[in-house]
Every structure is written in structure tokens, then in C-alpha cells.
Amino acid sequence: MNIIYLCPSGNYASLVAANIHLNKLKNNATIKEVEQLPYYLDINSTKGQFYFIGLDNKKRSVYTLAIETHPSIITKTAEDLMKISQKNDKEIKLVDVSPFTPKYIKLRKSPFFKKILTKHISKMLLEIDRLVQNNT
């Protein structure tokens, strides 16, 4: 099975969720630990590109995906691709963590906003952890 965490940037809430899923980040992580995640707020990330984050303890591949503001379209597309390819819908699990991403994420290129965004995500760690636990 592949688990894909979705968020507008692919390197914010989805990256945090994927690392919580893989036990690389705890729900009480410090701001510094969040900032040190590979790809965190990477301004060079590509929309629509999957980022492999790792294998979980059940040997499932965990990815993030940047979806801009269209999680329902991406989810529907993935479901239809599974049907077309006659794959079992249990092979891919999509987890939308977009609600944890603030509207001002597009300002992430500014060092000032990076600190604000990191503080924001730090406050959301417990809620993201709950979502991850409910979907794994």
C-alpha cells in the first residue's frame, strides 16, 4: 500500500504528517525539529510531484503531494485511475491535511513568514497526529 499525504504545498502539513506517520517527528516536536525536516517549506518544490518520505513499520510507502487548492479533484482522479487500471482501491490511501495549511502559505518564500508558518504548524501537531493515527 502507498499512503499519500496531500496539502497545497506538499512540504508543509503533508510533510509534517508523513514524518509523524513514520515516527520521525513526535506530536510534541520543537519548532527547530519541524524546521529541520527534509523538504520543509522548500520553495523549489513542484506542484503535482510526489515526494517519497520513507517506509513505515508495515513496509508501506509514504509520500507527500502538492495539490494547490484541489484535494477533491486529486482524490477523484486517483480513485478513477485505480478503477481504470483495475487496481484494488486498498493499494493507495490519500490523506488530505490541507485544513492544517493557512491561506497565507504562498508567502512561504519570506523568512519572516517561515517563522510564522512554523509556529502555526507546531500548534497543530497534536491534531495532525490524531488524523495520522486515525488513517493508519
pLDDT digits (tens, 9 = 90+) for 74-132: 777 777 777 777 666 567 888 888 888 877 666 566 666 777 777 888 888 889 999 89
Q: What is the pLDDT of residues 34-63, one digit of tens each?
A: 989 988 888 677 777 888 999 999 999 999
Alpha carbon distance 106, 8 (integer Å): 9
pTM, 2 dp: 0.81
d(CA 26, CA 92): 24
**3 state SS of 93:** strand
Distance of CA 65 to the CA centre of its chain: 7
Count of H-run helices and E-run strands, the chain: 5, 4
As a whole number of angstroms, the distance between CA 22 and CA 56 comes to 5
Q: Which of 78, 72, 54 is nearest to 64 (CA)?
A: 54
Q: At what angle do helices 111-123 and 125-134 cross, to 10 degrees?
A: 60
